[in-house]
Amino acid sequence: MDIFKEIEKSSRFEIPVFGGKLLVSGRILSASEVEQIGLGSTILATELFSVADKKSSVDKLFQKAQKNSSKLTENEMKRIVDYMKAISPETLANHSENQDKVICKVIDKASMDNGESWKNLRLTTAIEEMNADSGVLWVGTFSRDDKNEILNKAMNGHQEAIKRIDRFQG
């Protein structure tokens, strides 16, 4: 039965958030969940790279526009506008929303005493649902760094868990 405990232990992680004032605990994502998230990230990355290919020539146009925008030709202005349209705000917003949903899905406990005691925690994507007395926090209160740390642990956790279980001697 010790292997069960090792598997259980390997499927969870803890991360300090809010400058170390709160410790949150969550579960790792399964391999199939990571693949789904990776697909969304690949689509976003493809869109970003297609824009990056155009970036250097457009950078020169931006510099020219900053010096004297009246010297830009109509074609140059069109290229700048096309570049700015290449990544839709909706694409970035959807990616961010999906990341927030993942964070809400994996985090389920919080500790204010460095892990001595734990309380149930539910994260929500809707600020209207936030209720500190009920242990419900809005995911929007987390910093970008805290969110990235949680996502990294959740997404890479299954690889770490496999390694730990493989090293388990029983």
Judge whether residue 51 has pLDDT over 80: no
Q: What is the mean pLDDT of residues 132-153?
A: 94
Judge whether residue 120 has pLDDT over 90: yes
- Cα–Cα distance for residue pair 49/75, rounded to 1 Å: 23
Judge whether residue 12 has pLDDT over 80: yes
- Cα–Cα distance for residue pair 170/135, rounded to 1 Å: 37
Q: Are 156 and 15 in contact (CB under 8 A)?
A: no
Query: Residue written as tokens 């149930």?
Result: 120
SS (H, E, C) the chain: CHHHHHHHHHCEEEEEECCCCEEEEEECCCHHHHHHHHHHHHHHHHHHHHHHHHHHHHHHHHHHHHHHHHHCCHHHHHHHHHHHHHCCHHHHHHHHHHHHHHHHHHEEEEECCCCCCCEECEEECCHHHCEHHHCEEEHHHCCHHHHHHHHHHHHHHHHHHHHHHHHCCC
Q: What is the mean pLDDT of the chain?
A: 79
Range of the domain at 54: 2-167
Give residue-wise pLDDT tens across range 87-118.
667 767 777 888 899 999 999 999 999 999 99
Number of structural domains in the chain: 1
pLDDT confidence tier of residue 43, bands split at 50, 70 and 90: low
Query: Residue written as tokens 């090792």?
Result: 6
**Closest C-alpha among 161, 142, 138 to residue 28:** 161
**130 vs 156, which has greater pLDDT?**
130
